[in-house]
């Protein structure tokens, strides 16, 4: 099954989808246009996936449009590497799912009506860039000055914050607030030309220094920053503030519903002020806030993830333990699971911690249907079947996925020497141990029942070999096929098995809320979160492809390790390394229950 097969169930209704439906029905907007606007200052994480699924999902369900927009107005933190990874990740998450029209580049303009997507571009999402609007943003800022709604302020950042004051008491107006329009226009032009050093002047809105909402006390529109931008180079030394750039970008792209997380609720009056102050001809976008995703046993802000990368606490942004989309993909999580997760958690107005088990069960539900069953022995112990001759080989049929017959069957070799997992043998087992023991019987999956006759140890007393007898009559179709034993274990033929590196990943943190009580999240990193072992696998796994998902029977879900590459194309020869996506059951729940 391909990575992008559209198997995601429709998302249930929520308050945002209701608003969009109402606005379309009332004719307020002929088409819904949403956007996903990441700042290219890091890789996308699972929180972004919630926003992507919401924004692109709405466009998909209402036959509207959704723009991927790089919110690149802060030159010092942004990089081309991040732009590329964001594009690759969004494409991966919604590429095969979204309507073809989504994300096609549409030219924005200040006066005209929203332009429909052109037919020209390809399937890959073409991002928009806020930096493409710098010229228009500047023109609109000049317009605000002309209307007496913006002024150049000479206060430095500390003074500005002191004048702004606290919500309980009115702030103090800047001494520069009453500058004439002419003087403001002149100074603003000189700021643009680079006449003043960083931090010496700002362009500020002129709203209300007494507002109880601190974000309406003349917030800055532009700051001076002599910095090289990853796209516009050294063309600008004046950059728009996020709160100004955002509504303008939304308007220019004809966005109808600007969906963001709850912490922006208090910024909404300013968002509306910017657009309303400009007397713009088109229907204005509406900002709507929803609760951000917080997930147990991880941290999610890009700043913190960057720290983990920079301090070498993980192998990179795509480390399979990271909550980044590139990490999750490398770990074997499919976009279908992320989209099902987004649908499962829904969209609300209340911030809370989502249990990681909810996410894990979405991953298991998805993988269970597509994963190819394979036999793999992670910690091998040798079994010698004394009644099978050397060179004698039996071929048994094995189903690739019991819940999906279309995935077919394969043949597996059964020979005199096998490997089983050392966990599946105990010399002195506790009660109710149904796996192999001296004198005991067990069924080998897809093959037959064996009996352990003799335990061979080395000089140090370590078990090195189990000498057993195979009862071939108990194989499928044999005279004794119906014979029952309590345990069934996995195995591989020693003559056929291949060796490969297997990486066993676990949660990155030992605490559900790594930052609770002001704790440093780095102090609760899980030291057991990554183990590398050499395993013995059935030989079909030598042909594993990037898109395949596997269930190593009785062990867990695994995938070929494919590090992130900006082109999305795997290197031609990938070394045979398998990453554990997750175990078959929620073993942590059991651990917790024991406590
Ligand atoms: P971070 O704190 O991780 O840097 P951010 O909000 O600064 O996140 P942006 O790149 O600005 O990151 O976010 C792009 C979009 O993704 C925004 O619309 C934001 O609301 C949304 N988003 C970011 N984090 C989450 C989250 N945890 N849950 C839901 N949406 C999120
Ligand atoms: Mg941000």
Q: Residue 585's pLDDT is what?
A: 86
- Model confidence band, residue 564 (pLDDT cutoffs 50, 70, 90): confident
From the CB of 468, is ligand 1 less than 6 Å away?
Answer: no
So what CATH class is 135-243? alpha beta
pLDDT at 2 over 80: no
Ligand 1 contact via 304 beta carbon (within 6 Å): no
Q: How far is the CA of 98 from the centre of ligand 1 (A)?
A: 21
Where does the pLDDT of residue 13 fall: very low under 50, low under 70, confident under 90, or very high at 90 and above?
A: confident
Question: What is the Å distance from ligand 2's center to 382 Cα?
Answer: 55
Confidence of residue 589 (pLDDT cuts 50, 70, 90): low
User: Which CATH number does 293-374+497-595 carry?
Assistant: 1.10.1160.10
Mutate to test the pocket of ligand 1, among 14, 36, 42, 47 (most ligand atoms within 8 A of CB): 47
pLDDT value at 588 more than 80? no
Reading the block at residue 238, the tokens are 């004046």
Q: What is the pLDDT of residue 4?
A: 43
pLDDT tens, residue by residue, 260-296: 999 999 999 999 999 999 999 999 999 999 999 999 9
CA distance 380 to 119: 57
Which pLDDT does position 565 carry in this prediction? Answer: 80
* SS3 state at 113: coil
Distance from the alpha carbon of residue 38 to the mean position of ligand 2, in angstroms: 7
Q: How far apart are CA 370 and CA 402, in angstroms?
A: 10
The b-or-e profile of 483-515 (16+ CB within 10 A means b, else e) is eeeeebbbbbbbebbeebebbbbbbbbebbbbe
pTM: 0.92
Residues 406 and 379 sit within 8 Å (Cβ to Cβ) = no
- Checking if the pLDDT of 103 tops 70, the result is no
Structure confidence at residue 120 as a pLDDT band (50, 70, 90)? very low
Is residue 479's pLDDT more than 80? yes
At residue 97, the pLDDT reads 67
593 pLDDT higher than 90: no
Catalytic residues: 39, 292, 302
Q: Assess contact for 235 and 244: CB atoms under 8 A.
A: no
**Got the DSSP string for 373-415?**
EE-EESSEEEEEETTS-TT--EEEEEES-TT-GGG-EEEEEE-
Q: Which atom of ligand 1 is nearest to the CA of 301?
A: 3
Q: How confident is the model at residue 10 (pLDDT cuts 50, 70, 90)?
A: low
What average pLDDT does this structure show over 421-434? Answer: 95
Q: State the average pLDDT over residues 138-165.
A: 97
Question: Could you give the CA distance from residue 24 to residue 33 in angstroms, rounded to a whole number?
Answer: 11
Q: Locate the ligand 1 atom nearest the alpha carbon of residue 303 and give its number.
A: 4
Distance CA 74, CA 158 (A): 20
Mutate to test the pocket of ligand 1, among 48, 94, 127 (most ligand atoms within 8 A of CB): 48
Q: What is the pLDDT of residue 583?
A: 95
SS3 593: helix
For residue 247, the CA-to-ligand 1 centroid distance in Å is 16
As a whole number, mean pLDDT of residues 108-121 equals 34
Q: Domain residues of the chain, as ranges?
A: 135-243, 293-374+497-595, 376-489
Q: Give the CATH fold of the 376-489 domain.
A: Ribosomal Protein L25; Chain P (2.40.240)
- Low-confidence winner among 90-104, 254-268, 358-372, 466-480 (lowest mean pLDDT): 90-104
The number of beta carbons lying within 10 Å of the beta carbon of residue 569 is: 9
Residue 125 has what pLDDT?
76
Q: How confident is the model at residue 95 (pLDDT cuts 50, 70, 90)?
A: confident
């Amino acid at each position: 099954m391909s990575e992008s097969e559209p198997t995601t169930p429709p998302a249930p209704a929520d308050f945002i989808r209701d608003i969009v439906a109402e606005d379309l029905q009332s004719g307020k907007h002929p088409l819904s246009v949403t956007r996903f606007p990441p700042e290219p200052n890091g890789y996308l994480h699972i929180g972004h996936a919630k926003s992507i699924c919401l924004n692109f999902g709405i466009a998909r369900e209402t036959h509207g449009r959704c723009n991927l927009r790089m919110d690149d107005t802060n030159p010092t933190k942004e990089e081309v590497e991040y732009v590329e990874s964001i594009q690759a990740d969004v494409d991966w998450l919604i590429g095969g799912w979204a309507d073809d029209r989504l994300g096609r580049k549409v030219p924005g303009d200040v006066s005209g009506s929203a332009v429909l997507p052109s037919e020209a571009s390809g399937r890959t999402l073409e991002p928009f860039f806020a930096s493409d609007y710098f010229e228009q943003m500047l023109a609109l800022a000049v317009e605000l000055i002309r209307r007496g709604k913006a002024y150049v302020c000479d206060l430095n950042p500390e003074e500005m914050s002191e004048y702004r004051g606290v919500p309980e008491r009115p702030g103090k107006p800047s001494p520069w607030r009453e500058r004439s329009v002419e003087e403001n226009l002149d100074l603003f032009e000189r700021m643009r030309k680079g006449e003043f050093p960083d931090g010496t002047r700002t362009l500020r809105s002129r709203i209300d220094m007494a507002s109880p909402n601190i974000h309406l006390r003349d917030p800055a529109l532009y700051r001076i920053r002599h910095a090289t931008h990853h796209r516009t180079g050294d063309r600008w030394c004046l950059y728009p503030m996020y709160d100004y750039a955002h509504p303008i970008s939304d308007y220019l792209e004809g966005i109808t519903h600007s969906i963001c997380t709850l912490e922006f609720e208090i910024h909404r009056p300013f968002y509306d002020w910017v657009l309303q102050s400009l007397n713009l001809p088109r229907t204005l976008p509406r900002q709507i806030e929803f609760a951000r995703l917080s997930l147990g046993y991880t941290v999610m802000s890009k700043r913190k993830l960057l720290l983990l990368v920079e301090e070498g606490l993980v192998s990179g942004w795509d480390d399979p333990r990271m909550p980044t989309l590139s990490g999750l993909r490398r770990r074997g999580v499919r976009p279908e699971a992320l989209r099902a997760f987004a649908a499962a958690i829904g969209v609300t107005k209340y911030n809370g911690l989502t249990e990681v088990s909810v996410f894990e069960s979405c991953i298991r539900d998805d993988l269970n249907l597509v994963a190819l069953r394979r036999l793999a022995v992670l910690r091998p112990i040798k079994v010698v079947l004394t009644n099978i001759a050397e060179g004698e080989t039996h071929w048994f049929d094995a189903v690739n996925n019991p819940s999906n017959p279309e995935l077919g069957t394969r043949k597996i070799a059964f020979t005199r020497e096998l490997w089983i997992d050392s966990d599946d043998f105990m010399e002195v087992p506790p009660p109710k141990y149904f796996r192999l023991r001296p004198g005991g019987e067990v069924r080998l999956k897809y093959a037959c029942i064996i009996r352990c006759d003799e335990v061979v140890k080395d000089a140090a007393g370590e078990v090195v070999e189990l000498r057993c007898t195979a009862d071939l009559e108990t194989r499928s179709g044999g005279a004794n096929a119906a014979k029952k034993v309590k345990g069934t274990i996995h195995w591989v033929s020693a003559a056929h098995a291949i060796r490969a590196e297997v990486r066993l990943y676990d949660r990155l943190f030992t605490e559900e809320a790594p930052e609770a009580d002001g704790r440093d999240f780095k102090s609760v990193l899980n030291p057991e979160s990554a183990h590398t072992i050499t395993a013995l696998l059935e030989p079909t796994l030598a042909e594993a492809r990037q898109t395949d998902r596997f269930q190593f029977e009785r062990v867990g879900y695994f995938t070929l390790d494919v590090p992130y590459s900006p082109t999305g194309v795997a290197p031609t020869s990938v070394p045979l390394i398998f990453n554990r996506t997750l175990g078959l059951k929620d073993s942590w729940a059991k651990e917790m229950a024991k406590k």
